[in-house]
Structure 1
């Protein structure tokens, strides 16, 4: 299952955005208002949204100034959340969030709508940076 967020333009350089996305504590600024828990632990963080199970994300991959990919810590529900950064000008970049999950059809049907909403909220909060 793939979910691609809207591309947003941010008045920051690709280096600034890359640095932002590689510091896990910064993801707290992007979380929805319904976040009940957010804790950074080394190269991972755990967060909980109201009415949903807690999720632990780990730093999986970094491509300097263009991509930061987080992934599920648990192999039960394998997925990744990538932040693709595209430099437009010296202090302006585009960011696109991409979610990729390996779910069975029933699970995909249940989580698609809340995940899409979650990606939209993260994208909206990135645009405010």
Structure 2
């Protein structure tokens, strides 16, 4: 009598391959797609509701009113006016970690794809103070 383990191993391998494919295809970061709760081109992005909280969480520890001179390279993003003074392309290039820009947050991971999409949509809308 001869025992063969090929079928169960292949069955497990096939199931694992299907599972890994499903997980990988659902990962929007690997394809560059924006996750669904992010704004679309037709949705308005609010400075107060969307943008300011992103800057609170990711930028103002270095670019806040009391620290921007020493930690933030002189760039004050503590309020709407401070952000509006800065070049929109500099802000977007930095948070996207685009070539030729200093990646921000400095020394940190890239901010969430959805947050970058919100910043981009807000900039494209003319950076309204809403």
Normalising by structure 1, what TM-score?
Answer: 0.31
In terms of fraction of residues, the more helix-rich structure is 2
Higher Rg of the two aligned structures? 2
| Higher strand fraction (1 or 2) | 1
**TM-score, with length taken from structure 2:** 0.31
